[in-house]
Amino acid sequence: MKTNTIAARLRILTMAHQLEHANGTDAVLDAFDRLEERVMRGVPLAEGTGHMPALIEEFFATRCELVEGAKTQVGVIYDAFREWCAESKGLDVNAVPSLRVFGESTRRAFDREASNRVFLLGVRLREGGRS
């Protein structure tokens, strides 16, 4: 197996672990499978690829989880992100990445569905957050 393939799979495993470690090994392995499938379809991952600012990556790793069949409105996740930035990071509202930056980052990292609102597919806020 080529070194770059191993490195890519390790990045996928790292992201799966960050998103699901609190839910146990089976959840991490399920997340790995879903993320690897996305990569095989040519959808880039946020983690380690430069597609998502570190603050947004940290938010998704700590406050969100990958759940097959989940569908969460981008605006709801962004509101939770802004609250998390203020509470956990002590950031002023003007220091938080804009909805445009947040939306562009999530567009590259997750499947989306749009009607009169935009939803992220396969992602939800962890318990204790709004969904």
Cα separation, 87 vs 102, in Å, equals 18
pLDDT of 26-68, one tens digit each?
Answer: 888 887 888 777 777 666 555 444 446 778 888 998 899 988 8
Q: Enumerate residues 6+ apart whose C-beta is below 8 A from 35.
A: 12, 15, 16, 45, 66
Total residues found in the chain within this entry: 131
Q: Which pTM was predicted?
A: 0.62
The per-residue DSSP string of 44-96 comes to PPSTTTTSS-HHHHHHHHHHEEEEEEEEEEHHHHHHHHHHHHHHHH---GGGS
Q: Place 14 in a pLDDT band, splitting at 50, 70 and 90.
A: confident
